[in-house]
Amino acid sequence: MAKVKTMYFCKNCGAESPKWIGRCPACGEWNTYVEEPVAPKGKHGALLGDAGSGQTPAVPIKISEIKTEEMPRIKLPSAELDRVLGGGLVPGSIILIGGEPGIGKSTLVLQNVLRIRSRKVLYISGEESPQQLRMRADRIAGGKMDCECYLLCETSLDNIFASIKANKPDLIIVDSIQTIASDQLESAAGSVSQVRECAATFLRYAKETNTPVILIGHINKEGSIAGPKVLEHIVDAVLQFEGDRHYMYRILRSIKNRFGNTSEIGIYEMKEDGLREVTNPSEMLLSLHGEALSGTAIGVTIDGARPFLIETQALVSTAAYGTAQRSVTGFDQRRMNMLLAVLEKRVGFKLAQKDVFLNIAGGLKVNDPALDLAVICAILSSNVDMPINKGICMSGEVGLSGEIRQITRIDQRIGEAEKLGFESIIIPANNTRGLHSSDFKIKLIEVSKVEEAFRYLFG
């Protein structure tokens, strides 16, 4: 009996080595190499019939002789998902959607699949039974099942492709890729070699038959998509489904996209009957209380290519136990500590012996530096217990010397604030070049230092 050949693979990046090593030379992680059997030569591509066995080799073509034509896209029912993908699904593309358990990946995909009428869809599930999927479909679709969607609960890659060849679907969904295993490999499902081989097999089928494939992947404890990094390299687009399960909002973000812009994001709201698209997130992220409250400031931020307004909440109180606390939700804590140091050094507010709590309303995580001005204004408003006028919003980056630095896409930020009915917006003075106040109905307040913004807000 022939001896089974084994290799060592890195669980983090997929690098291989003939022997075990402590630290991966490719990604630098420690103790990530695992021993797995290697498939014998000649078995790759066996599921595709002639692939790898007598197939005619490709002939090189001069790049100037290649005919270019616009690839027709498959429009999906969700406009948010279409925008993140760059205008729809490209035939022959393979898409990877990742997210934490219970965040709504399967709901997002199944919700779109149930609304496709003109194409045959094959939904492959390795985690749920047909009865569970039917119950979820009833909850999402409300009993309307006039789509051409077929369910296949199977984990064997050979059986899956036998069903695919028999049904010839127009769209394939795999939920999830970590549960699929090939009988040609002896390792368990979800291992490095299984995930890589199964994804590569779906990739070959997608390119040969021009059939789009959507893969659903899990997230590990570090927050990245589980499995080797080669899984992200071989797919055409990687979409990350983010959000806190304790909040209702979800963000679909494009990490990699060969057919569109990676700066686009889609926003959803989780409901009992599925995910609802949020076309105007600014109205939902602003509180609807009538009176102005201290410690609240409205900041204009941009995530991806979409501007929206976020309510920044701060609470400053005297430290009860001698040591001041710093608690932040939805914002970088190190950046807030830097802004507190600017307030104390440049402006003269002593906050070293006070507790500071900061929260970004809506459960979102914001990395835009243009939110700095709203953060320090909310902190100062809570410190002096003076509310900020509800008709004022602001956007600007704060430097270490207390200056308000220039920000990007200022015209989009002003337009979003004007659309929501704000009376005035505080912006950096350097951003007014090329802007004409007559083009906007909203009042533009130009500031160059933090003190000027405080003087306008609090007198």
Positions at the binding site for ATP: 99-106
| Cα distance between residue 409 and residue 307, in whole Å | 9
- Numbers of helices and strands, H then E, in the chain: 11, 21
- Taking residue 20's Cβ as centre, other Cβ atoms within 10 Å add up to 10
Cβ(254)–Cβ(98) under 8 Å? Answer: no
CA distance to 5, 218, 260, 345, per residue, from 253 (Å): 40, 15, 12, 38
- Single-letter code of the amino acid located at 184: Q
Which neighbouring-strand residues pair with 240?
98, 253
| Cα distance between residue 409 and residue 428, in whole Å | 12
Tokens of 7: 């290799």
Q: Which residue has the tokens 């609304």?
A: 115
Q: Give the β-pairing of 213-217 and 171-175.
A: parallel
Q: Which residue has the tokens 């390792």?
A: 187
| Cα distance between residue 10 and residue 34, in whole Å | 7
| Cα distance between residue 456 and residue 94, in whole Å | 53
Annotated binding site: 99-106
* CA 380 remoteness from chain centre: 32
DSSP H or E run through 452: helix 450-458
Peptide bond into 176 cis (omega under 30): yes
Among 384, 381, 398, 392, which Cα is nearest to 418's? 392
Residue 348 CB partners (closer than 8 Å, separation 6+): none
* CA 216 remoteness from chain centre: 14
DSSP H or E run through 310: strand 306-318
| Cα distance between residue 234 and residue 287, in whole Å | 43
What is the end-to-end Cα distance of the chain in Å, rounded? Answer: 88
Radius of gyration of the chain (CA): 27
DSSP letter for 2, please.
P
